[in-house]
Amino acid sequence: MQTDTAPLRVALVIGSNRHGRFGPVVADWLLDRLRDRDDLAPEVVDVAGIDLPTTFAPTPGATAALASVTPRLASADAFVVLTPEYNHSFPAALKNLIDWHFTEWQAKPVALVSYGGISGGLRATEHLRQVFAELHAVTVRDTVSFHNAGGSFEDGRLKAPSGPEAAAKTMLDQLVWWGSVLREGRAARPYGG
């Protein structure tokens, strides 16, 4: 079997739509990490720019929103999901995006990056692991989390970058391995979960 050496198409999902959210600061940092790699081709999917209804009714608004986001998720080989922690879990807007899709996540890897207060969003990532397992997606083991995230950045730059940089490298290396293997697997045998 011939190996596909094209960069993995990675959808960076920004999972918060709150006014004044901190997510874009972390997303900009993440995008720099993704763009530094020759084996990844990132595209941003921001829930704040997607107006999906919370009821699963085939309305014109839902159809238009799905037409803008579904092909981007479907064409991704892998995902990096960026989430804050709200009330010990992840935001409703992120859950809504996930729930409107099913096959788009199947047999693809998901890396998790979180931010928050003292827990750094880790409870949100653990809940996301359960959700993505149900959708037949594979979450990579290592994550990146920002504890007391607001105090970790100054003018959009990390104050102490060495730990997060190392964690991001490990996580993205795992994402590339899983993404490459699963892309080849889907090409050889379509997933029928």
pLDDT digits over 33-61, tens only? 999 999 999 999 999 999 888 887 778 87
The DSSP bridge pattern shows strands 8-14 and 78-84 to be parallel
What is the DSSP-derived secondary structure letter of residue 161? -
pTM for this structure? 0.95
The pLDDT value recorded for residue 2 is: 60
Least Cα distance to 114 among 133, 87, 89, 151 occurs for 89
What is the amino acid identity at position 30? L
